[in-house]
Structure formats: C-alpha cells, structure tokens
C-alpha cells in the first residue's frame, strides 16, 4: 500500500509510548496520518515524547496526550484535544493494558481491580468515546489476547479482564456499522516485547515459543500489518471480528 494513503486522516493510539503501540503509531504516521501518541503518566512521558519526536523528525505530524483511561472524563478530554489540534479522528487503536501472571488463588483484590480498570473499564470508555467522535468510515481497534483461545493457567485475571472486549466489539460494530465504521479486536499471541517478558520465566518463554508453528515468539512486525490492513479502505467488510495473529499458537 502507498506510504501516503492516509493523508488527511487522524489516529489516536492509546498506549503508544512503547512496544506494539509505538510501532502502530509510527506505521500510521509513515502512511500520512497525523497521530496522537497516548501514554498514562510520568513514567512513560519520556518514551511517548520520543515516539512523537521521531514521527515529526520524519516529516509527520504528532502530539502527545496523557492520562488514566479508567477515568471517563480523561478519555473525553483526550478526544477533545486531538480534535482541537487535528480537526477530526479517523482511527482509534487501544493498546493500553496490564498483565499480571499469578496462580488464581494468589491474585489480590488490588490485582483484580488494576487489571479490570486497565483492560476492560478503560477499553469501554475509549470505545464509547470513539463511537461518539469518530468520523464516518473510521476504524476502532482494540488489542485483545489469544489466551482466550488457550487452556492454560496463571493468566486468569489478565485473560478474564480482556474477555469483555470481545462482546464490546460485537455490540458496537452493530451500532456504528451504518456509518461505515468498523470495530475489531486484534488478539496477538506471545510477542517479543517488554510487556511479555515482564511476567515470564525462561522456562515459560521457551514453552510459549515452541507452541507456534514456526517454533518462535511473534515480533511486533508480525502484528503491524494487521493494523495497517484494518486501517485501510479494503478492510471495510471486516467488522465485529476477533482476529488471532499468533503464528498458530492457538486457534479458535
């Protein structure tokens, strides 16, 4: 696809300071979209600014937006800021989230609340605001997890807190489809990022790597093409879907 096929379009990438979110923001910018790079707070400010600076230095347009997505007022303010700066919103990609890996009986009340705030509540607020503010023929994309097709332990609260995205997506796709807006979940398997390695041991990394057909973990660049496709006119007939991108780690 041409690198400038998104000229005039505007994307908000939530959770874009690092890892997959940053790569998605950079790819959309390379294709001509103006990008809002979201991060949560002070610990990710430097990385978010570096991501935005890299886009601008390459000739693109980018701003940094910040805040806790589990606060609905903050989400609304972010959309308002982006529309004030760029005039519209065409693509909303939510990569923000947390993973806590523990045996089921060791999860604390705080672990549960933190996980559902970041992975379910925040996602709902982002999707709800996107449905109000996005342009016709826009795209709403959430990052889910292939673990919802797996039979494995220690991810109960992480996978459980991502599960609502699937029903949110199906419901919202029905409601906004008449405007040409598509709503989908991209559900990666194990991807070689700091987000993944932060909760894994060498043994679990080896086990999860061996589960793919190519006997390796995914890379960020294995996931970027799916986002690129969904943010293209040719994806208009793909909506309400949970798209596993995992090298055969699991199927459903």
List active site positions.
Answer: 158
How far apart (Å, rounded) are the C-alpha atoms in residues 31 and 21? 16
- Sequence-distant (≥ 6) Cβ neighbours of residue 183 within 8 angstroms: 127, 140, 141, 169, 172, 173, 176, 239, 240
- Sequence-distant (≥ 6) Cβ neighbours of residue 163 within 8 angstroms: 148
Give 239's DSSP letter: -
Q: Enter the tokens of residue 58.
A: 């390459």
50: left (phi over 0), alpha (psi -120 to 50) or beta: alpha
End-to-end Cα spacing for the chain: 29
Give 231's DSSP letter: T
How far apart (Å, rounded) are the C-alpha atoms in residues 57 and 77? 26
Answer whether 79's CB lies under 8 Å from 89's CB. Answer: yes
Q: Enter the tokens of residue 41.
A: 């707070």
How far apart (Å, rounded) are the C-alpha atoms in residues 212 and 248? 5
Give 183's DSSP letter: E
């Amino acid at each position: 696809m041409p690198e400038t096929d998104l000229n005039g379009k505007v994307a908000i990438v939530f959770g874009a300071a690092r890892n997959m979110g940053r790569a998605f923001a950079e790819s959309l910018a390379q294709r001509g979209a103006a990008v809002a790079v979201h991060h949560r707070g002070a610990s990710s400010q430097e990385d978010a600014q570096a991501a935005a600076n890299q886009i601008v230095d390459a000739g693109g347009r980018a701003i940094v937006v910040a805040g806790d997505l589990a606060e609905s007022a903050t989400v609304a303010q972010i959309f308002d800021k982006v529309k004030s700066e760029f005039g519209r919103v065409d693509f909303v990609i939510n990569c923000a989230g947390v993973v806590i890996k523990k045996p089921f009986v060791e999860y604390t009340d705080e672990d549960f609340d933190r996980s559902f705030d970041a992975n379910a509540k925040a996602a709902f607020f982002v999707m709800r605001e996107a449905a109000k503010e996005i342009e016709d023929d826009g795209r709403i994309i959430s990052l889910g997890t292939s673990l919802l097709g797996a039979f494995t332990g220690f991810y109960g609260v992480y996978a459980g807190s991502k599960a609502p995205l699937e029903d949110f997506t199906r419901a919202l796709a029905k409601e906004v489809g008449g405007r040409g807006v598509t709503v989908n979940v991209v559900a990666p398997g194990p991807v070689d990022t700091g987000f993944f390695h932060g909760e894994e041991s060498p043994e679990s990394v080896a086990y999860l790597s061996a589960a793919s057909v190519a006997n390796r973990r995914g890379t960020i660049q294995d996931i970027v093409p799916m986002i690129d496709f969904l943010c293209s006119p040719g994806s208009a007939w793909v909506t309400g879907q949970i798209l596993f991108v995992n090298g055969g780690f699991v199927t459903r």
